[in-house]
Structures are given as C-alpha cells and as structure tokens.
Amino acid sequence: MADDTLLLSDQLKADPRLAQAKKLILEAVADHQKTMQSVRPPRTELKQSYEAMLEKFGSLRNGSLFFPYLSSGIGNGPFVELADGSVKLDMITGIGVHGYGHSHPLLVEAAIDTAVSDTVMQGNLQQNTESYELCELLVNLANETGGAFKHCFLTTSGAMANENSLKIAFQKNHPANRVIAFSHCFAGRTLALAQVTDKAKYRVGLPDTIAVDYLPFFKHDDPQRSTEIAVSHLKYLLDRHPGKYAALWMELIQGEGGYYPGDVNFFKALIEVAKEAGVCTIADEVQTFCRTTRPYAFQHFGLDKLVDVVTIGKISQVCATLFTDEYKFQPGLISQTFTGSTMAINSALAIVNGLVKQGNFGEGGRNQTLHDYFVKGIQKVGEKYPGSIAGPHGLGGMVALTPFDGTPEVASEMAKRLFDAGLMSFMAGGDPARLRFLMPIGCVTHDHLDLACQILERVVGEMAEAATA
Ligand SMILES: Cc1ncc(COP(=O)(O)O)c(C=O)c1O
C-alpha cells in the first residue's frame, strides 16, 4: 500500500517496481559493457558507412570533426565504443565533461530517476527541487574553506555562465565598461566572450563588443619577476583608465592556453591592487572545477576571500555562476527559459557528491594521486625517447605534455596518431603547443593510466623513429 502521507513523487520513488527496473537496467548495462576492458580497432565492415556518416555530419555542421569520433552510446568507465566498432581509452572526456567516464552506474541511475520526472528541462518558470539542491550544494562547497558565496545561478553552458558573470560585474560597477584578462586566456565564444578570449582567430568578422586589456600570466621559471611585471602593468592600466574597469578575469589554471597553473602570491598581489580600485574579481573555473585538491581551484590557491564571482561548467554538466552578496544583480538582468536539463541536474548532483564522497579532494586525494601516477608514467616515456616529451605540466586532473618541438603541427599529429592507436587526448596552447589529458577522475584507475602510457610509448616511439629516418 502506498503511504498517502507522502507526496506522489516520493511514493513513485519508493515504488518497488522502480527499484526493480533500476536493478534490471543496471544489470543489462553492466552485462553489455563488461567486454570493454581495453582498446579495440574499428570493424572493417563498418568502415564505409561510418566514414559516410562522418562526412555528411561534417557538411551538416559546416566543419568536419577533429577526431572521427561518434560514440555508439555505450562505454565502460574510460572506455567508449564508437559507431565504427572501435573502443577508445578516453582521456580527454569531451574536454573535461565525462568525469565518470562513459555509462557509469551513477549516471545510469541518474538517467532512470530523470526518466520518471515530469520535466525535461528546468529554468525560469519551471524549477524542480533538484535545481534548489544543486544550487545549495555548489554554494556550500564554495564556502567550505572561508568563501562568502551566497548566490548561485544555473545555466546550460560555460559561455553563458561567464556571460552572466560579466553582466553581474558590469551592472555593479557601472559605468565601468572595460575588462582586464590574462594573455592566452579562453573564456567562451559569445560575442562578448570572444572579445575576452585572447585569440584573434575566434573573432574574425565579429564587431568589437567590450574593451579588454591583457596582463601577462604567471611564469613558473621566473615567479617573482613575472608577478612584478603583471602587477606593474595592472597599475598602469588602472591609472590609464581610472574607474573604467569592471572586472579582473582570471583562469587560475590556464586551460586552452596550455595548462599553465598560476600561483597564490601572483593572484594575491594582483587581486589586492584590483580590489583597491573596486574591480570585481572573477574566477573562470569552467575547466578546472573539481580537478584540483579542492572542488574549486580558488580554494586550492587559498583565494577564498578574494574572489567575488566564480563560474563552473564541463564536469558538472550544468554550468553555474556563484557570487557574493556584494554582487547581487537587480531583477531583470539575468533569466533563462532553460537553466539545465533534469538529466544534467541529477547528474551534476551525482557527480559532485560522488567525487566528494570517494575522496577526490584534499592533499593526497584521488585528484592528486592520479596526477602523480600519470605524470610518472609519462616521464618514463620521455626518458625512453629523449627529446620527445617536455613536462609533464598541469595540476590534479589536468595533465599536459609538450611533444617534440612543440609546434602545433606535431601536437596535432600526435593527437591523431594516439587516437588511431586508441588513446584520446587533445591539443592546448600554441607556442609551444601541448597535448592535454582530462582524465575521468571519478573512475580512472592505475591500470587505465598504465594502458594510456603504453599507447603513448608506442606512438612516441614511432614518431621518434620517423623523425630520425
Ligand atoms: C576556461 C573556460 N571558460 C569557458 C569555456 C566555455 O565553455 P562552454 O564551451 O561550455 O561554453 C571553456 C570551454 O572550454 C573554458 O575552458
């Protein structure tokens, strides 16, 4: 008998048929994924139809895919089956999206809960309780080590979270109309963010929207001097355009720019000057969220009290802008029909709670130990083929290497060769170009990392041999 004191939705959630269906579905997925324990080449009989599909898709979307990657819809942790029958070891995970890899039971369960929910998308006039739970979780985590974030607005892309953060900063600091960012930063591809992103190619043909000035980023090989240079340039800009800067835009670890972590003293020195001038400090954590020793990289760097607005995305599935009371926006500035799909919101809750519970954070947490293990493996490959690998670089769940001479052509060639050999990576930066890995930190094991290094070793060996031939 159903308990009539419960809401209907709670009665449905407690229905034994649902529990049984969940069990059956999870068993079926597990049965079908269990043979996926390593990489596999494509099937010859699927080659032609797969290539035709890729070509048509490339034409439909006005640009071919960098990798011939179309997932068939099933995976097993870091392994994913493609529609050509191949199985890849996915160590780039959609540039940091699949934190629990592919077809993970946590996410299958979230999908089943979503399947019986009343709504596909949540947003403006259609919020369910999960949206509230997620906002609360993200704010609580952000305040765990001294932050003062009071508000969280969900959204569907990293760019939109960043766009919202810019609007918040501009409104509060009106009539300031300029932004300061770091050279080589990436912020997204809206009209405003294409202007912040320091890559001319991404704004070809676009009108100027906001005025952005750049500071050089931290240099690990010259920490003190690079900090002094950036601070003095910041002071120069603030003098040159007094009262005109609304925000200091910071990626705490440069992602697309090439996996360059910043430094606590560097950020503190800049933020001190910026705050004195009333400039809003924004941390763009769309790529770094959940990948350092703390859920937020601003916590990893001890900037809890110094960041006013933080944006997250990718691994969280739902993106968000968190901000302090000082940056509360006025009604009407930000609203969206869609702030996230119910599936994305349920997955976000499962992923973020899962990473916290299974010990991904903290000194000596999984993010750190996986990083150290992977870096050692990559170093060994570099030692075997001198001159083939510089680095590795990065932090926590973000790892990169500079291949050979670091030209974009070599990095791209290595990414493609690795893909053909079964290992997925992607390029970052430009001078030098690097190869990056965003491992699925929720489910990757040392065995997976060993396999990644074996494939890397094979491909590096082939490239080294070709270079000397
Ligand atoms: C640091 C950073 N900010 C913003 C974005 C944009 O996110 P999205 O592609 O979800 O719009 C990205 C995406 O790569 C990013 O790495």
CATH code of 463's domain:
3.90.1150.10
**Nearest Cα residue to atom 10 of ligand 1:** 158
Structurally, the chain folds into a number of domains equal to 2
Instruction: Determine if ligand 1 sits within 6 Å of the CB of residue 158.
Output: yes
Residues 342 and 198 in one domain: yes
Please indicate, yes or no, whether residues 389 and 262 belong to a single structural domain of this protein: no
Residues 305 and 417 in one domain: no
Q: What is the pLDDT of residue 4?
A: 82
Domain holding 133, by residue range, is 121-357
Ligand 1 near 96 CB (within 6 A): no
Q: Is residue 62 part of a domain?
A: yes
In a domain, 36, yes or no: no
Same domain, 245 and 134: yes
Residues of the chain with pLDDT below 50 are none
Residue bearing the CA closest to ligand 1, atom 16: 287
384 and 460 belong to one structural domain:
yes
The answer as to whether 26 is a domain residue is no
| Nearest atom in ligand 1 to 188's CA | 6
Query: Based on the domain organization, do 450 and 372 belong to the same domain?
Result: yes
For the purposes of burial, counting CB atoms within 10 Å of the CB of 432, is it exposed (0-12), middle (13-18) or buried (19 or more)? middle
222 lies in the same domain as 266:
yes
Q: Which of 357, 389, 404 is the last residue of a domain?
A: 357
371 occurs within a structural domain? yes
Distance (angstroms) between ligand 1 centre and the Cα of 164 equals 13
Binding site membership of 327 for ligand 1 (Cβ less than 6 Å): no
199 & 76 share domain: no
Measured CA to CA, the distance from residue 187 to residue 176 in angstroms comes to: 20
Q: What's phi and psi for 233, nearest 5 deg?
A: -70, -40
13 CA to centre of ligand 1 in angstroms: 35
* pLDDT of the residue at 83: 98
Asked if the structure places residue 444 within a domain, the reply is: yes
C-beta 313 within 6 A of ligand 1: yes
Ligand 1 contact via 255 beta carbon (within 6 Å): yes
Atom of ligand 1 nearest to the CA of 193: 4
Residues 238, 335 share a domain: yes
Of 327, 357, 387, the residue at which a domain comes to its end is 357
Atom of ligand 1 nearest to the CA of 159: 11
For residues 323 and 308, the answer to whether their CB atoms sit within 8 Å is yes
13 lies in some domain: no
Quick one: pLDDT at residue 1?
A: 62
Please answer whether residues 122 and 130 qualify as being in contact, where contact means their C-beta atoms are separated by less than 8 angstroms.
Answer: yes
301 and 346, same domain (yes or no): yes
pLDDT at 12: 94
What's the pLDDT score for residue 81?
98
Which atom of ligand 1 is nearest to 288's Cα? 1
Q: Is the CB of 101 inside a 6 Å radius of any atom of ligand 1?
A: no
Instruction: For residue 188, tell me if it sits in a domain.
Output: yes
Q: Report how far ligand 1's centroid is from the alpha carbon of 160 (Å).
A: 9
Which of 309, 342, 357 is the C-terminal boundary of a domain? 357
Same domain, 176 and 325: yes
Residue 107 lies in a domain: no
Q: At 263, which CATH number?
A: 3.40.640.10
190 lines ligand 1 (CB under 6 A): no
pLDDT per residue as tens digits for the range 62-92? 999 999 999 999 999 999 999 999 999 999 9
- Domain match, 79 and 162 both: no
Q: How many angstroms is it from 85 CA to the middle of ligand 1?
A: 30
State the pLDDT at residue 255. 97
